[in-house]
Structure 1
Amino acid sequence: MSAWTSGGALVSSIEITAATVRRGDVIQLGGAARRVEDLFQLPRGAKQLVFESGDLLTVHARTRLVAVRMPRRR
């Protein structure tokens, strides 16, 4: 699913895993949207996500989440 933001940018909802998550992805957790600020590789394909709020989330290799992603600028 794709939608336009109020600023005119096209965003899309995508399924992400530890292998595909990127900085800037917005993930809905516990009813709140959280933007990934940084991420760190962990053993066995897991990643630790650091959100702008300072919260942390460990995503294991098999974890699947839905995120909103804006296209990268060129």
Structure 2
Amino acid sequence: MNAGVLVAVEVDATTIARGDQVMVGGQTFTVTDMTAMRGGAKRLVFSSGESFVMTRTTTLWAARRHIPLRLGRRRPPAATS
């Protein structure tokens, strides 16, 4: 099981990442590979084997796994005299 929580983020061709889950045409796809194309576009390859060309002006919502930092209990600062 993957750790972390899924967070909805707005992505474009510059911010899309491998592992993002995007919805295209009412179906969810997981990005497994990307290729940069001219004009700032990216060709996304999904785990299903299908591909999608995302132009630089295309904006999608994606589910991205985020692992929150676990901060330990903070100690009060040491007293100085």
TM-score normalised to structure 2 length: 0.76
* Alpha-carbon distance in structure 2 between the residues aligned to 1:52 and 1:68: 15
Partner of 1:3: none
Partner of 2:33: 38
Partner of 1:20: 15
Cα pair distance change 1:8/1:42, threshold 3 Å: closer
- The structure in which a higher percent of residues are strand is 1
**Consecutive unaligned residues in structure 2, runs of 5 or more:** 68-81
Partner of 1:65: 60
Q: What secondary structure, in the 3-state scheme, does the structure 1 residue paired with 2:63 have? A: strand
Residues 12-46 of structure 1, C-alpha deviations (whole Å, 9 max, x = no match):
10100000000000001122110000000000100
**Consecutive unaligned residues in structure 1, runs of 5 or more:** 1-5
TM-score normalised to structure 1 length: 0.82
* Alpha-carbon distance in structure 2 between the residues aligned to 1:48 and 1:11: 23
Shift >3 Å, 4+ stretches: none
- Residue identity matched to 2:66: P
Residue identity over aligned pairs, in percent, reads 33
Which structure's CA Rg is the greater one? 2
